């Protein structure tokens, strides 16, 4: 359902409900109660939501859930579709390189137990999100970077391959003629895949995968693989993920902020909007860059918001796989 329609419905059919802010414990004062406006009709589970128009990826994740995969494996399968898509120039193979012509990938996953795994600045491996899961499950660490991440991936059976496609090499060579670095709203930053899934039992997991900003400095890492910034999951509450200029998401720890706002009773939509406002309040040059957030809560309600127009989200819910342009801040 389009967000506007959903909001209209929600506005018409809301009831005040009382929610417990905490569980009562002996010896502690009574739990704080607060009233939350809540729609009478809840969206159904499962749900898969992703940044950008990636219907192939959300479809794959949805099918994986139907076949009995965990929410985490569904996200990894879904994101893997875009990582293997050589036409997409920001994820996996075909990603635009750094200034030196190297494709370096960042990815992370987080599951319902709060486990997290990530790879940063990894080269030559097409599916960093699957390697991130291996880091989470099969190492004593949560992040591996650079050559260590690549060697670990190879030790786990991942194939080394050249990720710089002819198309991306030509784009880089053209860029070198001016070598001007300026993130371009919704063009350069157009397809980091952040994906969140809630299975039919309300189990939540998420992942985020990217080649980062095109023509970044060698060694630059953005928000996408950093817990709390590019992704955060709390199975009690919900999850959030980001796309856009990672430096700004990192400085405001955006995904964690959104989940904490939902914990305080905000809807996914309200929480995404507040996280964007936090960036705008702190960053006078917000006109120059894009950030977009998506979020989902335990019930399967979703939200999305960005600084500028043009951000797209895909939601697979109620047997419908729909890409929409959500509401945004900078309406002139």
Catalytic residue among 104, 192, 252, 283: 192
Contact 297, 42 (CB under 8 A): no
Q: Contact letters (x/-) for ligand SD4, 126-155, by CB under 6 A?
A: ------------------------------
Residue 95 touching ligand SD4 (CB under 6 A): no
Among 95, 117, 207, 222, binds ligand SD4 (CB under 6 A): 222
Residue 82 touching ligand SD4 (CB under 6 A): no
Q: How far is the CB of 29 from ligand SD4 (least distance, A)?
A: 42
Angle in degrees, CA 282, 285, 291, rounded to 5: 75
Contact 35, 186 (CB under 8 A): no
Among 112, 191, 199, 327, binds ligand SD4 (CB under 6 A): 191
Tell me the pairing of strands 204-210 and 193-198. Answer: antiparallel
Tell me the pairing of strands 313-317 and 320-324. Answer: antiparallel
Q: How far apart are the first and last CA of the chain?
A: 26
Of 45 and 295, the one with the shorter C-beta distance to ligand SD4 is 295
Q: How far is the CB of 16 from ligand SD4 (least distance, A)?
A: 38
Please state, in angstroms and rounded to a whole number, the distance separating the CA atoms of residues 102 and 298. Answer: 39
CB-facing half-sphere around the CA of 180: CA atoms within 13 A: 4
Please state, in angstroms and rounded to a whole number, the distance separating the CA atoms of residues 1 and 320. Answer: 9
Residue 223 touching ligand SD4 (CB under 6 A): yes
Q: Contact letters (x/-) for ligand SD4, 33-72, by CB under 6 A?
A: ----------------------------------------
Please state, in angstroms and rounded to a whole number, the distance separating the CA atoms of residues 228 and 325. Answer: 24
Among 57, 213, 294, 307, binds ligand SD4 (CB under 6 A): 213
Q: In this structure, what are the phi and psi dihedrals at residue 240, rounded to the nearest 5 degrees?
A: -145, 155
Active site residue 192: yes
Contact 229, 256 (CB under 8 A): yes
Residue 212 touching ligand SD4 (CB under 6 A): yes
| Of residues 244-263, those binding ligand SD4 (CB under 6 A) | 244-246
Residue 243 touching ligand SD4 (CB under 6 A): yes
Q: How far is the CB of 221 from ligand SD4 (least distance, A)?
A: 7
Residue with tokens 């902020």: 257
The residues binding ligand SD4 (CB under 6 A) are 90, 189-192, 210, 212-213, 222-224, 243-246
């Amino acid at each position: 359902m389009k967000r506007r329609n959903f909001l209209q419905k929600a506005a018409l059919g809301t009831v005040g409900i009382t929610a417990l802010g905490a569980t009562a414990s002996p010896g502690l004062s009574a739990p704080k109660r607060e009233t939350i406006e809540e729609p009478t009709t809840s969206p159904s589970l499962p749900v898969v939501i992703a940044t950008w128009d990636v219907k192939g990826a959300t479809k794959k994740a949805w099918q994986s859930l139907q076949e009995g995969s965990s929410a985490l494996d569904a996200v990894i399968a879904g994101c893997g579709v875009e990582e293997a898509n050589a036409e997409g120039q920001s994820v996996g193979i075909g990603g635009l390189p750094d200034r030196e012509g190297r494709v370096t990938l960042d990815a992370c996953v987080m599951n319902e137990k709060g486990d997290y795994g990530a790879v940063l600045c990894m080269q030559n491996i097409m599916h960093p999100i699957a390697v991130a899961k291996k880091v989470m499950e099969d190492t004593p660490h949560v992040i591996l970077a650079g050559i260590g991440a690549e060697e670990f991936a190879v030790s786990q059976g991942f194939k080394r391959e050249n990720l710089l496609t002819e198309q991306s090499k030509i784009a880089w060579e053209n860029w070198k003629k001016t070598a001007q670095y300026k993130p371009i709203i919704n063009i350069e930053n157009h397809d980091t895949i952040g994906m969140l899934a809630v299975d039919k039992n309300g189990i939540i997991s998420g992942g985020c995968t990217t080649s980062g900003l095109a023509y970044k400095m060698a060694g630059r890492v953005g928000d996408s693989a950093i817990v709390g910034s590019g992704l955060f999951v709390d199975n009690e509450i919900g999850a959030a993920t980001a796309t856009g200029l990672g430096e700004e998401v990192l400085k405001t720890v955006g995904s964690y902020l959104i989940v904490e706002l939902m914990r305080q009773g905000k809807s996914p939509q309200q929480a995404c909007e507040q996280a964007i406002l936090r960036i705008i309040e702190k960053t006078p040059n917000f006109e120059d860059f894009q950030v977009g957030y998506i979020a989902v809560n335990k019930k399967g309600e979703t939200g999305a918001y960005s600084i500028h127009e043009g951000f797209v989200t895909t939601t697979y819910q109620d047997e419908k796989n729909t890409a929409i342009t959500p509401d945004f801040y900078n309406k002139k």
